[in-house]
Amino acid sequence: MSTKMDAALKKPWMVALIAIFCCVLWGSASPCIKIGYEMLGLSPDSSGAQVLFAGLRFTLAGFLALLFGSLLEKKILLPRKSAWGKILKLSVFQTSLQYFCLYVGLAHTTGVNGSIIIGTNTLFTILVAALLFRQEKLNFPKVTGCIVGFAGVLLANLADGGFHLNFSLSGEGLVAVAVLSYAFSSCFLKRYSQDENPVMLSGYQFIVGGVTLTVIGLLMGGRFPTFSPAAAGMLVYLALVSALAYSLWGMLLKVNPVSKVSIYGFMNPVVGVLLSALLLGEGGQAFRPGNVIALLLVSLGIFVVNRFGDTGPHSSKRRLS
């Protein structure tokens, strides 16, 4: 990426614009995945087919990300020999481990419990970046912003039904592992993108992780009862969502503190609730007071972190290489 582009990506309004755009894309993924399952004739307990669907989606996303990056750079993006270790590590944390645990875990817990646990990914990303990777300081405004943002996530999801205080390793436990996996992948991506093109890293890690998930899905007996042009179109759209959103997110992480970018992740579940209500024919529930207040809380949390959070690095030391 050019120095001019890096400078532009540091501007607060540009960070907000791109991050919110990514959140809208990711927020649309949840209802579109459900629609895709219906098109493919998949039942909620078709874990193998769901993992296979994810594998195909991310493999295609990898090729699309590389196409996007190659056109942007006006050359084919090829990894250096030294980059393959970074790509493999990212593929495990960002794609293979995260989405396997997520898909299997969500099948063994309630939608509300799963959504609330997923909503903690921003908080854990900032904690991992500050406490383990030492990429920035952890201070009161950041903690406050995270708590306020998470309160919005809780409100958006608790309005849909009760939160049950139960915990199982195959359900809530796996979803929690997925959340931690995402947190580590974000910090690794920030570190590795200092020396490597973040779009290149995104593309190749998606391909490696996607192929891994495809093989796992097939070994689990995953098959699609039906496959129509509409289902293929939905698969391509979801691949575009991953390719574009994750590549742009990586470009932001390269030149900004993790907290300044990741705090926008609190928008994902709230946007997901709103878009799910609209796309799944429940428009009347989309703008109920609870969701509006949730969006305001999330926005307040983002403002607190961006306005008062310290952007300086906590230490020059690096951990977890």
C-alpha triplet 90, 93, 97: angle, nearest 5°: 135
pLDDT score of 300: 77
**Backbone phi and psi for residue 229, each to the nearest 5 degrees, phi listed first:** -55, -35
pLDDT score of 188: 93
Percentage of residues in the chain with pLDDT exceeding 70? 82
| 234 φ/ψ sector (left φ>0, alpha ψ -120 to 50, else beta) | alpha
Q: What whole-number distance in Å separates Cα of residue 60 and Cα of residue 58? A: 5
- pLDDT per position in the chain (321 positions), as tens? 467 888 888 898 899 999 999 988 887 887 788 888 889 988 877 888 989 999 999 999 999 999 988 998 889 999 999 999 999 999 999 999 998 888 788 777 765 566 667 777 788 888 888 888 888 787 788 788 778 877 877 776 665 555 555 667 777 788 889 989 999 999 999 999 989 999 999 999 999 999 999 999 999 999 999 889 999 999 999 999 999 998 899 899 888 888 888 888 877 777 776 776 676 665 555 556 666 677 677 777 777 776 766 644 444 344 444
Amino acid, res. 295: L
- Coil vs helix vs strand at 164: coil
Q: Contact 72/186 with Cβ under 8 angstroms?
A: no
| 134 φ/ψ sector (left φ>0, alpha ψ -120 to 50, else beta) | left
pLDDT score of 309: 63
What pTM was estimated for this model as a whole? 0.81
At 37, list the tokens: 């399952």
Q: Which of 174, 145, 131, 155 is nearest to 262 (CA)?
A: 145
Q: What whole-number distance in Å separates Cα of residue 318 and Cα of residue 298? A: 31
pLDDT score of 276: 67
Residues sharing a CB contact under 8 Å with residue 62, sequence separation 6 or more, in sequence order? 202, 203, 204, 205, 206, 207, 208, 209, 210, 243
Q: Contact 231/36 with Cβ under 8 angstroms?
A: yes
In eight-state DSSP terms, residue 82 is G
Query: Cα separations (Å) of 206 from 27, 63, 82, 94, 114?
Result: 19, 8, 18, 8, 24
Which residue carries 């990303």 as its tokens? 125
pLDDT score of 317: 41
pLDDT score of 268: 76
pLDDT score of 270: 72
